Structure 1
């Protein structure tokens, strides 16, 4: 299949590209600015794509004529969404509208996968054991609101043009290649820098008792790929492990893997008790639709992430 990935230079985009290429799909990488230093395999099928420029979106999609679009391009950091809500809302909502609307206007039979977030459920997680696709969405931050709105408008535009559209809600995912700004990568990067002698042997932490549903990004990618290689009804699909793990448990295991002693220091500037202590998803719908389940062992995934940061920090020295 001919597949266009928006936001292809991001953490998930790079993993998705590798998996699609390994399965012999023809992949086009939509990036806001092509990096001439990228390896040639990536550059030769990269296309400049600013999702907020509708005419450019139309030109790219008309040129590629993709069988599938994975729409990954987004502002995806919750803290940054508070710093600049306008940018987050504009990028995530208007960018999605442009992608889906252009496919309809060009009368293409493209299958569109829009990437939402478990954050869309928001405070609902406080009142339910496991979040299903029918759980009410009560998003509590600009990023979550933008993803919920993007998914809703994408579904309505898809109905208008009779498009094949799936909106996925992945729960927390991590793995090699994830940059700082997300809890597991933040811990792993700090440990790697401590081991390399670039930081003191202390990690400052906030509230550690929050529990989240963590999945290896490579398992998330497997689900994405199966969704396009299978005949699946339009709609919303949760993707997650279905297992709740505390941030404390994650940190303890990463410290066990460390090559040097590490102290934990409470930073009261970071200590904000989460309003929603436990967030975990029910992925039965997607499991039944594509016969998918996570395959990576959680502790092995943490080790892979730490090892990736160790290699990255070595380059910095």
Structure 2
């Protein structure tokens, strides 16, 4: 079986590639000329990489013709929520155009494969307290341009399923973290700052944004297990939450990370880290996905955060 991952060098993409290799798949994926391959170093000799900018329609068509995968995992996206406010049109165009090119190429060149579209919890946006935990039937009330782009991607996937019969499965993935996560994500930002303070690389002040936000966090290793199961077991044209089902405040996660360190650290709010708009609480149930696949999260968040902190300690040593 052949698996193809757009954004294979990214955080989730590299973990997914490793997971699929262990499952016996031939794995390939897309990179751009500027892509850093650090995340792929342990598996580079096990995968095939295609230099493919998904905004280049002809290159996407040629890549799908050559790869001929059985499973396609579309993870590539402009995913920085904060940047999407400053570059809203770029975020919308890039995420929608890339997927449109990919689905067109699949429809014309290789229509028999299965396609996973990686959505986001950001799509739900403003959620009323009585709607928690979020179900897949909850309406979208997006609060940032990135969320709007992901909703559009989901509608494109559904349209291609209904119009052309493509086997598209949508997952709305909630916050996930783990070793190797970029520091533009809150948990990794905290972990990096703690590691820097421990090593004397910065003053003992940890800068934070909104600590009261309540979120649903998963380990990336649980997420990529879910992605594999989604294409094995889930119904095409359907959307599924990939979530922990539990609510935890950002402050609680920070407290957990600080408990792993002996350093004396002062907490300071940085106004630049506050979003223009944000949901107070976002967490979801995963019953629909569990019913199809039997999946449930296995890695405790405490272990995830300790592994994340230790990865920053190792990287900075």
Alignment TM class, shorter chain as reference: over 0.9
| Structure 1 pair 177–95 and aligned structure 2 pair: CA distance change class (3 A) | same
Structure 2 equivalent of residue 49 of structure 1:
52
What displacement does 1:140 show?
1.2
Name the CA shift for 1:126/1:157 in 2 (closer, same or farther; >3 Å).
same
Find the counterpart in structure 1 of residue 26 from structure 2.
26
Instruction: Using the TM superposition, give the Cα deviation of residue 233 of structure 1 relative to its aligned residue in structure 2, in angstroms.
Output: 4.3
The structure-2 alpha-carbon separation of the partners of 1:135 and 1:164, relative to structure 1 and needing over 3 Å to count, comes to same
User: Would you say 1:259 and 2:253 are equivalent positions?
Assistant: no
SS at match of 1:45: strand
Name the residue aligned to 1:294. 297
Q: Does the residue aligned with 2:182 lie in a helix, a strand or coil?
A: coil
| Structure 1 residues 278 and 133, CA gap change in structure 2 (3 angstroms) | same
CA shift for structure 1 position 270: 4.0
Q: 1:51 to 1:127 in 2, by over 3 A?
A: farther
Question: Helix, strand or coil: the match of 1:123?
Answer: coil
Q: How far has the Cα of 1:272 moved from its partner?
A: 6.1
Structure 1 CA distance for aligned equivalents of residues 107 and 298 of structure 2:
36
Change over 3 Å in CA distance of 1:12–1:124 after alignment to 2:
same
Please point out which of 162, 176, 189 is paired with 1:159: 162
Pairing 1:81–2:79 present: no
Shift of 1:120: 0.4
Task: Give the alignment partner of residue 103 of structure 1, picking from 106, 121, 146.
Answer: 106
Moved more, 7-16 or 154-163: 154-163
- Counterparts of 1:1-317 in structure 2, within 5 Å, are 1-33=1-33, 39=41, 41-42=43-44, 45-230=48-233, 232-270=235-273, 275-314=278-317
Q: CA deviation at 1:16?
A: 0.5
Structure 1 residues 83, 231: closer, same or farther in 2, change over 3 A? Answer: closer
Q: TM-score, normalised by structure 2?
A: 0.94
Q: For 2:259, what is the secondary structure of its paired residue?
A: helix
The TM-score with structure 1 as length reference comes to 0.94
What is the count of residue pairs matched by the alignment? 314
Shift of 1:266: 3.0
Distance in 1 (CA, whole Å) between partners of 2:92 and 2:272 is: 27
User: More deviation in 97-106 or 295-304?
Assistant: 97-106
Residue 99 of structure 1 deviates from its aligned partner by: 0.9
Q: Secondary structure at the match of 2:127?
A: helix
Q: Secondary structure at the match of 2:211?
A: coil
Alpha-carbon contact 2:7-2:77 (below 8 Å) kept: yes
Q: Deviations over 1:108-139 (max 9, x none)?
A: 20100011101001113555111111110111
Unaligned runs of 5+ in 1: none
User: Does the C-alpha gap of structure 1 residues 10 and 265 become closer, same or farther in structure 2, counting only changes over 3 Å?
Assistant: same
Structure 2 CA distance for partners of 1:145 and 1:231, relative to 1, 3 Å: closer
Equivalent-residue separation in structure 2 for 1:54 and 1:13 (angstroms): 22
Shift of 1:39: 4.0
Q: 1:125 to 1:20 in 2, by over 3 A?
A: farther
